[in-house]
Amino acid sequence: MVLMIVLVIFPSILTKKKISKIIDNEQTISEEQEPKEEIVKYDYSKYATIKLLHTKTNEIEELPIDEYLYGVVSGEMPATYEMEALKAQAIVARTYTLYQIMNSKGKHQDSDICDNSNCCQAWISKEDRLNRWDEDVRNSNWDKITNAVDSTQGKIITYNNAPIDAFFHSNSGGITETATNVWGGSNFPYLKIVETAGEDGYEQYSSEVELSKDELINKLKEKHPEVQMNFDEGNCIEIKEYTDSGRVKTIKFGNIEIAGTEARTLFGLKSTNFSFEINENTIKFKVIGYGHGVGMSQTGADSMAKNGSNFEQIIMHFYDGVQITYINDL
Ligand SMILES: [Zn+2]
């Protein structure tokens, strides 16, 4: 029995735990050892390649889907994040890509997807990616990214046997948002409001934007020339309604009311989860979270992974009632 424990359980613990090396009998250096991911070659009979539009040059490049995903994962998530978070990101990005191929005909005429994160999802070439990393972590970072993609080959997220619209964002501020509250329209059944612990431990969690009163009025006037504001009135700026996740749904500025999403764009706020204070000469917005808040939070994924969740648990947390299946099963 003891032998069994030693032979079976011990090695599996050792491969995952930090391994300490003792050097010169004095110094103890702790070094993180990534568990080696098992890579089983997946034979893509469907959707093996992707036509990627390079928005700067207008060129279209045809790439094997996973090679394309190396550039997406490394463009969208820091390589320092946990392996399970990177794997979740790889599957989310593969799903997002497939959804674009299957549902967005006409968005880009002769290509499937573009490299602009404001339109589709970020993509960075291997050369540019390596150049932006310090030399001492260059190869290990790249190995980690390719490992996350290769160890999840073919895997996608589906709902009713179709790829989901796998929205993701940087930091949910601890609670995600529905698609309806951001873009209107009907919600997707798998995009529910969920809470995630540990998001406040990341730099993306809180930020501030301070504008002078004139700047604020000028920005409002660009879109709403009729706006009139009298800062002597107590409720000159007033949040009128919050969404179920606690984000600003509508906010009043003087004689107009605008959506929280519009305020976010106008004032360059990182999210719609904000409060404000009116000072003598300025308005200060205090913002929680980063991004639209819909779907998977990247820092939330990393936080969950740090607390022991694997990529399946992370995906099931952020997308309700989904399945992880394979492209060829579609
Ligand atoms: Zn695009």
The continuous run of DSSP H or E covering 19 comes out as strand 19-23
* Contact predicate 113/52, CB 8 Å: yes
Ramachandran category for residue 282: left, alpha or beta (phi over 0 → left; psi -120 to 50 → alpha):
beta
Supply the pLDDT for residue 150: 97
- Asked if residue 74 has pLDDT above 90, the reply is yes
- Angle subtended at Cα 98 by Cα 92 and Cα 100, rounded to the nearest 5 degrees: 105
pTM: 0.86
Ligand 1 centre to CA of 58 (Å) is 12
Ligand 1 centre to CA of 166 (Å) is 15
| Gap between the Cα atoms of 235 and 254, Å rounded | 8
Where along the chain do its domains lie? 49-166+323-329, 167-294
> Comparing C-alpha atoms, which of 297, 90, 270 is closest to residue 195?
297
**pLDDT tens digit sequence for 263-314:** 999 999 999 999 999 999 999 999 999 999 999 999 999 999 999 999 999 9
> Comparing C-alpha atoms, which of 34, 57, 218 is closest to residue 125?
57
Distance of CA 279 to the CA centre of its chain: 34
Q: What is the mean pLDDT of residues 59-68?
A: 96
Ligand 1 centre to CA of 182 (Å) is 19
* Contact predicate 315/296, CB 8 Å: yes
Residues by chain with Cβ below 5 Å of ion ligand 1: 114, 119-120
Strand 256-259 to 155-159 pairing:
unpaired
Ligand 1 centre to CA of 27 (Å) is 51
In terms of Cβ atoms closer than 10 Å to its own Cβ (0-12, 13-18, 19+), residue 24 is exposed
Indicate the average pLDDT of the chain: 89
